[in-house]
Amino acid sequence: MSKTIRIGTRDSELALWQAKIAQSLLEKEGYSTELVPIKSTGDLVLDKPLYELGITGIFTRTLDIAMLNHDIDIAVHSLKDVPTVLPKGIIQAAVLKRGNVNDTLVFKNNEEFLSAKNAVIATGSLRRKAQWLNRYPTHTITDLRGNVNSRLQKLQDNDWNGAIFAAAGIGRIGIRPEEAINLDWMIPAPAQGAIMITALEDDEFVKEACATLNHEETEICTTIERKFLNRLEGGCTAPIGALAYIRDEEVHFKGVLLSKDGSKKIQVERSEKLGKHNDLAIYCADYVIERGGKRLMDEIKYSHKITNVVSTKKLTEDQKKLFHEKVVSKSDDFIKINLNRIRPQVLKTEIENVIITSKNAVEALVTNYSAAELQFKNIYCVGRRTKRLIENRIGKVKYTAKNAKALAEHLIQYLEGTEVTYFCSDIRLDALPTILTENNIKVNEVEAYQTKYDGFKIDEAVESVMFYSPSTVESFVRSNNVEIIAFCIGETTAKEANKHFKDVRVAKVPTVESVIELVNEHYV
């Protein structure tokens, strides 16, 4: 035991307290030690909330570098600050027995503000902010950074009602105010209250020394919490809470994921027998993911990035996954649809020729009538997806065209008879009825649904917009007078877009996926 173990630590009062605990435990085992205080980025940058700094392991990176440079032998961390994946060559050598896991509210005067509509609470933690706003949505959260002592002083110096701290932090250095209450309802950060020791993977002497300090129960619980965090791909930039504890030979777990503003919350609780708990974290994380967690994480992940593409149609989760990583998209329906009641007299007799150019018309028909009541001899449509929907819910399609103009040209040559019934919207920007009428084909228009323009003003940073019909173009230009790249689903849509934009591009095939492919080609 001749080697002196150099203990790396941040130089804050709490970090030094934790390092001295590790030091005393090692010396009790007969090892010689030396403290090596090092200032971290997290201590130096105090003018921004942690989640805005965008650095994983902000309080650990400096110590990691010192260890890899062999300036220190071990590092002592608050485990909640440590990334779930350690740098190559560094391992978790020990976890000390856990302290108080709770978050604590320190208030200035009394607790009456908890029942008030307006109150100001200080915290630099996105997780604490989200959970507080979920419980008290009318309260205001203000940022609070610095070491424990300076944060307590800021609470006294400002006109705030209270501030939130880790109970372990203010308790360990003996400065917990009397005006403090544990927030039992708030799920703590994964591994909160635990102290971790890291070491170099190939340093057998140090690894053997640290193994004597490891507390198995704390290791089991914090490992579950950190696996849950890792599965959700969260760091200090995501509002994720997790807590595992062992009671009566059972491992109990609860976890939570919230939106940044606390308006959305997905929570999970589960217990397993000790020894059969290995899949507990993965099960709970997947439970959260399947109930909207993936969407929430994506919102958080891209919230700091500038949107460069807007889709005028709400995209599905599978469609969003098709974008290249350089594309930051936003999607919403610029067109809202109201289905009309189609009068029975329209369908009194079998209609020989029917034209359907959208899925909305199909929905209107099948909402009003059963397939048996929709006796159409010849059905003509636009688009493969519309065709698929018609054949699944109404009947066989005689002919499908890629756009309305192409369908009109086909009908001029091959229509059986001289009359068609066109189930359409109250707003039409296609030329189909005009072309048919000019060629002596009578068009009976039936208003199957109403189209409402519902566009919004886009941000100045948006460079391009995805359009799926002439109506989406019209809706967009009603709210925006800007020059953008117009990615269009087909020629009819592109024709309308050309009236307003210089750069208009058309997808190879008329599908949403093909428009996304067009977008990717531009941005890659």
Active site residues: 81
Q: How far apart are CA 324 and CA 520, in angstroms?
A: 6
How far from 269 is each of 252, 256, 266, CA to CA, in Å? Answer: 8, 9, 11
φ, ψ (nearest 5 deg) of residue 166:
-80, 130
φ, ψ (nearest 5 deg) of residue 221:
-65, -45
Total residues found in the chain within this entry: 524
Q: Which helix (H) or strand (E) holds 79?
A: none
- The radius of gyration of the chain's CA atoms, rounded to the nearest angstrom, is 31
φ, ψ (nearest 5 deg) of residue 222:
-70, -30
* CB of 148 closer than 8 Å to CB of 168: no
Q: Which residues contact 12 (CB under 8 A, 6 or more apart)?
A: 43, 147, 148
Q: Which residues make beta-bridge pairs with 74? A: 7, 199
Q: Which residue, chain included where needed, has tokens 């971290």?
A: 40
Alpha-carbon 234 to chain mean position: 10
The 3-class SS string of 211-242 reads HCCCCHHHHHHHHHHHHHHHHCCCCCCCCEEE
Is residue 190 classed as helix, strand or coil in its secondary structure? Answer: coil
CB atoms within 10 A of CB 211: 12
Specify the pairing of strand 74-78 against strand 140-142: unpaired
Q: Which residue, chain included where needed, has tokens 């095939």?
A: 509
Alpha-carbon 489 to chain mean position: 27
Strands across the sheet containing 265-273: 240-247, 250-258, 265-273
Closest residue by Cα to residue 75 from 11, 30, 27: 11
